[in-house]
Amino acid sequence: AQTVTQSQPEMSVQEAETVTLSCTYDTSESDYYLFWYKQPPSRQMILVIRQEAYKQQNATENRFSVNFQKAAKSFSLKISDSQLGDAAMYFCAYRSFSSGNTPLVFGKGTRLSVIA
Amino acid sequence: GAVVSQHPSRVICKSGTSVKIECRSLDFQATTMFWYRQFPKKSLMLMATSNEGSKATYEQGVEKDKFLINHASLTLSTLTVTSAHPEDSSFYICSARGGVNQPQHFGDGTRLSIL
């Protein structure tokens, strides 16, 4: 079974600075998706960024980018120019690229605080 | 964009009551729906996966007679917590997907409190 590990339970960053959240995963599959979700205090799950494993280019969405290292099974999230609204729980997630009803497998999350 | 509506957002009821939570895909047909449970400051724990018209597949340790899941149509899945007790108090989140390699969209969750 696949597992996702987020080794940083909590992180903090100064407003306007850059922070990197770590995520590693374990799988024997070669094709899969990786995601970062944000969960603010409202508890809504918001998709931040998505990466297909077959793509070598790292995904980018405005201030959010990933460092995808397939061989190392690492998928870190970089948040640039951090804003107060970025404060939330961040979950890394894995999903198989296969037929069938494969669910998202989540890490335990990293709570990000943004300091004004 | 695609939207998943989950209702109700908050339920408070007495022990022994059965509670139904609805999850609707508003602008796409959800071939697969997922139900998660989240404890305070914890991650999302998958409870079950359901496909329209077939029985749900429950994760190990989840009581199927306790948590009844019905996926009667391509836009609606329901989770019924039967004879709820205080230990069932939690945050429940549904998620829906339109196809095998389609994005997975989340509802806003239901906070269930059993007194």
Q: Which helix (H) or strand (E) holds B54?
A: none
Q: Which residues of B touch A109 (CB under 8 A)?
A: 42-43
Q: Which residues of B touch A107 (CB under 8 A)?
A: 43
Would you call B91 and A104 a contact, using CB atoms and an 8 Å cutoff?
Answer: no
- Residue predicted with more confidence, A15 or B54: A15
Torsion on CA atoms A69, A40, B9, B80, rounded to nearest 10: 30
Question: What pLDDT does residue B2 have?
Answer: 62
Q: Is the pLDDT of residue A101 over 90?
A: no
- Residue predicted with more confidence, B81 or B3: B81
Record the tokens describing residue B102, joined without a space.
């389609």
A5 Cβ partners below 8 Å, 6+ apart?
A23, A24, A25, A26, A107, A108
Question: What pLDDT does residue B100 have?
Answer: 74
Gap from B71 CA to chain A (nearest CA, Å): 14
Would you call A104 and B51 a contact, using CB atoms and an 8 Å cutoff?
Answer: no
pLDDT (tens digit, 9 = 90+) per residue, A3-21? Answer: 999 999 999 999 999 999 9
pLDDT band, very low/low/confident/very high, at B72 (cuts 50, 70, 90): confident
Question: What pLDDT does residue A102 have?
Answer: 85
Question: What pLDDT does residue A97 have?
Answer: 81
Q: Which residues of A touch B113 (CB under 8 A)?
A: none
Q: Label the pairing between strands A46-52 and A32-39.
A: antiparallel
Listed in order, strand segments (DSSP E) in B1-115 are: 4-7, 10-13, 19-25, 32-38, 44-51, 57-58, 67-73, 76-81, 90-97, 104-106, 110-114
Coil, helix or strand at residue A108 = coil
Q: Is B68 exposed, middle or buried (0-12, 13-18, 19+ CB in 10 A)?
A: middle
Distance of CA B33 to the CA centre of its chain: 8
- Residue A82: name the closest of A26, A35, A4, A18 by CA: A18
Task: Kindly state the percentage of chain A with pLDDT values over 90.
Answer: 88
Question: What pLDDT does residue A100 have?
Answer: 66
CB-based contact, B25 to chain A, within 8 Å: no
Half-sphere exposure of A36 (CA within 13 A, CB side): 29
Residue B69, phi then psi, degrees to nearest 5: -120, 130
Task: Report the 10 Å Cβ neighbour count for B104.
Answer: 24
Q: Is the pLDDT of residue A99 over 70?
A: no
CB-based contact, B34 to chain A, within 8 Å: yes
Half-sphere exposure of B82 (CA within 13 A, CB side): 8
